[in-house]
Amino acid sequence: MVRENNTASRYYVNGNLVGEVGHPDTSKSLNRACWKPSIIEFSSPTDTVNILIHVSNYEFRNGGLGRPIKIGSIGTIQSIFDRTTRRDIMFLGIYLALALYHLAISILRRHDRTAMLLTTVYLSWILRTLFSTNFVIFEFIEYIPWSFQIRMEYLSLYLVIYTTSLYFMRQFDAYLFRFAQKILTTITIFFMLVLLIPDTHLISHLTTFYIYWLIPLSIVLFSAVARAALAGEKEGQIIFLGALVLAIAVLNDTLFTLGVISSGFIAPYMIVLFLVGQAFLVARQYANAFSSLAVREVELKQEIGLRITAEQDLLKHQLKLEETVSLRTSELHTVNEQLVVEIDHKQRKELELEKLNQTKDRFFSIIAHDLRGPIGTQMQYLELINQEFSEFSLEDLRETFFNLEKTSKKVYALLENLLTWSRL
C-alpha cells in the first residue's frame, strides 16, 4: 500500500511493471502528480523480491515516499486500507454531527459566538480529514487535479489551526497578550494568499515557514491554558489535561513512525476525543446556563407571584382608600353646604341685626328728642321758680305748677308707651 507519494511514482517488482501512482515522467509537461493512497497488487514465486521505484517530482518541495510502503497479502493490505478509510469516515460523521449540533445552537442563540466558532472548528476538521494523509475525498471523487489537492491540503491545515487556536484564545483571552488574535489572523491570511501562487513547488516551500510558526503559537496557547488551570478554572484544568494526553499521543505516533515502538497510531483518535471533549465542555456550560436560567425562572415566578399579590393588596387598599376619600369628600361637601347655609343665615342675621341697630338708634334718637323737650321745659320752670320764687304770685305759681304737671303727664305717657312697646 502506497501513501504520501511525492509526487508521482512507478513500481517494478522483479523487473516487471506492477503499477503506478500518478504518472511519473522525465518531462514536466507529461508528469502527472497524485497523492491518492493506492494498493498495487503483485505476486512473487519466491520470498525475496526486488522492488524498483521510479519517482518524478516537479510540484513539491521534496520527492519520494512520505511514508514507508506496506507489503503483505492482498487481504491484509486491503483490510488495513479499509480500516483506515472506515475510521476516517467515522471521524467525518462525528465532526459533521458536532458541526450541525453547534450550528443549531448558534441559530437558536444568535448572540452566542462560541457555538458558531465551534461550528467552524468542526467544519475545518471535516475539510482536513477529506484532504490529508489518507485523502478520504478519493472515496467520493475518482480524480482530483494535483494543484487542487495540494491547495486544499494546506488550506485545511490553515483553517484547522486558525479556528482551533481562535477558539482557545476566545476561551482564555484573559491569559493572552493583547494582539495575539490579530497576529494569528494576519499570519493565517498571509499563508492563505500564498495559495494563490501558480507554482505549487514554491507553495510547498513557503508552507514550511508556517510549520515553524506553529511552535511559538503552541507555546502561547499551552501557556495560556496552563495559567488558566493554575488559576483554578475548571475548563482550563480539563483542557490542560486533554492537551497533555494529545501531546503524549503525538509523541507515540512519532516514535511508532520511526520504528522505536510498535504501539500503532493513536493521535487521530485522541484528536477526535479531544474535540468531542470540547463539545462536552460547551454543552456542560450550556446545561449550567440553562439550569441557572431555570432556577432564575422559578425565582422570577415567585417574585412575580409576590408582586401580583402585593399589587392586588395595593389595589384593594387603593379602592378602599378611594371609597374613604369619596365618603369623606361627600361629608365635606355636605358640611360645606351646611357651612354655606349657616354663613348665609348668619349674614342675613347680621344684616337684620344691623337694621335693628339702626332702627334702635333712630328710635332712641326719637325718644331722646321726645323726652328732651318736656324735661327741658320742666328744668326751665324749676330754675325760674328757684331763682325768682319771691317774685312769683300765687296765681303765677299755680300756672307754673299746672304746666309742670302737664309736662310730667306727657313724659309719663311716653314712658308708659315705651314699657308697652318693650313687652311686644
Q: What is the pLDDT of residues 102-133, one digit of tens each?
A: 888 888 877 778 888 888 988 998 998 888 76
pLDDT beyond 90 at 226? no
Judged by average pLDDT, the poorest of 156-170, 288-302, 324-338 is 288-302
pLDDT beyond 80 at 360? no
pLDDT beyond 60 at 257? no
Q: Which residue has the cell 516551500?
A: 205
Residue 155 confidence (pLDDT): 93
pLDDT: which is higher, 222 or 266 = 222
Residue 370 confidence (pLDDT): 73
Q: For residue 325, list its beta bridge partners.
A: none
- pLDDT band for 46, please (50, 70, 90 cuts): confident
Q: What percent of the chain has pLDDT over 90?
A: 9
Residue 2 confidence (pLDDT): 63
Residue 331 confidence (pLDDT): 86
**Cβ neighbours of residue 395 closer than 8 Å, sequence gap 6 or more:** none
DSSP 317-368: HHHHHHHHHHHHHHHHHHHHHHHHHHHHHHHHHHHHHHHHHHHHHHHHHHHH
Residue 258 confidence (pLDDT): 56
pLDDT beyond 80 at 90? yes
**Cβ neighbours of residue 285 closer than 8 Å, sequence gap 6 or more:** 235
**Gap between the Cα atoms of 231 and 227, Å rounded:** 6
**Cβ neighbours of residue 249 closer than 8 Å, sequence gap 6 or more:** 266, 267, 269, 270, 271
- Mean residue pLDDT of the chain comes to 82
**Gap between the Cα atoms of 227 and 198, Å rounded:** 43
pLDDT beyond 80 at 202? yes
pLDDT beyond 90 at 43? no
- pLDDT band for 322, please (50, 70, 90 cuts): confident
Judged by average pLDDT, the poorest of 53-57, 250-254, 354-358 is 250-254
Residue 254 confidence (pLDDT): 59
pLDDT: which is higher, 257 or 365 = 365
Residue 351 confidence (pLDDT): 86
Residue 187 confidence (pLDDT): 94
Residue 183 confidence (pLDDT): 92
**Gap between the Cα atoms of 191 and 213, Å rounded:** 11
Instruction: Give the count of alpha carbons within 13 A of 220, CB side only.
Output: 19
